Chains A and B, each alone.
Chain A
């Protein structure tokens, strides 16, 4: 379960951590193979393979946990997705091939969940959190100090609150007798039971409320790194605000935009508690995104195999996004 080191001359040389920088330079330099680094007389080194093993030892506890509780379930997920495992303990589950996936794609409820997940992700993550986060970060750079602190504090509080509490707060906000309708009433606008008429929009707004702080922090960090001279020069040249945004700011923070979109989307794909608390996926299944659909199939309908097949699809989509994210970060490692 530990990392298996690959012993060998080349590996040993690369593995040399170069206790003195000079040694490292020598072993890295091209040309004829350098003689083995001089060993300090007072501390003989163990053989390379053994040394690598000793050095890798501290990774073991983390690795054991990751393999048993993360890699294990993922592998198990890939297995039971192809079986008809049920909650109500039949003796043996049997291998059913792609049956679960065929069922899924023929299932009206599954297609509904996919569609709602798409709406939820696009509205709350791509449009809502991302745009609002960027707008807040941009405005904060111009605003006066106290306003910045106050607004930052409020927005971040919404983010730090436990998911379930956020769910209750927005449940109260969108309920028929809740705050939103009270405000609309004061403005003489017609109110409605938002959790019943537009449940998916209500939970999307809830997710914007809860998640915008993250984008705001990412974009604040990104905007802070744009050199002042660049924007000032454009300003003196008379470029309008929108043109500066489009031609200067956005291109300069495009890597942060990519990262932020990826992480937001992944986060949004796995939202469960917020929707569960607000609507339980209802009314009917009009706010049932994929995680809630998966839960319902696996536990309320006792079809673990089918629920896991849906989970596997979610995991594959998540992995694809995750790979894109790695590509965006590839220079960092």
Chain B
């Protein structure tokens, strides 16, 4: 029977696929294993090994205002501020683009889409020079504004696509009752696209949280540095690198974004809307 050989072949093939995937995953997991094991190790070095002694001492050592709390708070202010600004501006901008037809929509959206893929790294030198001239260098607000601006194109694009999914009939009733556009955006459209807003929010936050180059260029005072930049201190000023503490700090710094990602992907399933948002 052809069907039986086919199913036997399928099982065989599934096992082969499993083996292949596990091999790749093992390679991917090695660096991750290093950071987790070293953070718990009394004598951490650079290779993956079972800890010589289990300890929380590394976490204890880095959980001080100087090393952990201030940088994390700075990260939170920068990324929280930037994300809030991004989401509010993107939601407002997406509304007319999604709801009203105008001959300006298409050129605007094309420009936005074009801007989503510009290499932001390339404009950091001129941004620095510009910020020096307008006195925004080394300020939190300047960095927040730039974060928001660099994230906006993608946020507007995503937000508009999510908003297109909310049927306009639901709004028409509110319009006839005399609700303004702003009211119908706040009361009807945004609540209906909760998952979309969550994706845009989490996505912006995660990207800003992990961004190194922007705060590295635009902030100068050590007190204002977010975790992305302050982590380099482990190499700079402290003489020999204490790898256990570096690993512990890396775990603390990475946890928020990992949790946010898990939260959103649990709620929205798998590779969530991102795969859908970028596929051609």
Interfacial residues, chain A to chain B (CB-CB below 8 A): 3, 5-6, 11, 14-19, 40, 42-43, 52, 55-56, 58-59, 61-63, 65-66, 68-70, 72-74, 76-77, 80, 85, 132, 135-136, 139-140, 142-144, 147-148, 150-151, 154-158, 160-165, 168-170, 172-173, 175, 177-179, 181-182, 209, 217-218, 220-222, 235-236, 255-256, 258-259, 262-263, 266, 269-273, 276-277, 291, 294-295, 298, 304, 307-308, 311-312, 314-315, 318-319, 321-323, 325-326, 328-329, 333
Contacts and interface: CB of A to CB of B under 8 A. Distances in A.
B261 to A, nearest CB: 5
Contact of B47 (A68, A178, A209): A178
B274 interface: yes
A162 B254 contact: yes
Contacts of A140: 17, 21
A49 to B, nearest CB: 12
Contacts of A5: 102, 104
B31 A172 contact: yes
B276 to A, nearest CB: 6
A270 B149 contact: no
B46 A333 contact: no
B183 interface: no
B77 to A, nearest CB: 17
B100 A151 contact: no
Interface in B108-123: 108-110, 113-115, 117-123
B21 A136 contact: yes
B122 A151 contact: no
Given A144-B14, A173-B31, A322-B117, A66 B149 contact: yes
Nearest to A147: B18
16 contacts: A3-B108, A66-B153, A73-B123, A139-B17, A150-B25, A155-B28, A158-B32, A168-B231, A209-B28, A217-B275, A220-B270, A236-B2, A270-B120, A291-B122, A294-B122, A315-B119
B213 A62 contact: no
B88 interface: yes
Contacts of B4: none
A158 B113 CA distance: 27
Contacts of A165: 35, 210, 231, 250, 253-254
A262 B31 contact: no
B92 A164 contact: no
Nearest to A75: B126
B146 A69 contact: yes
B201 interface: no
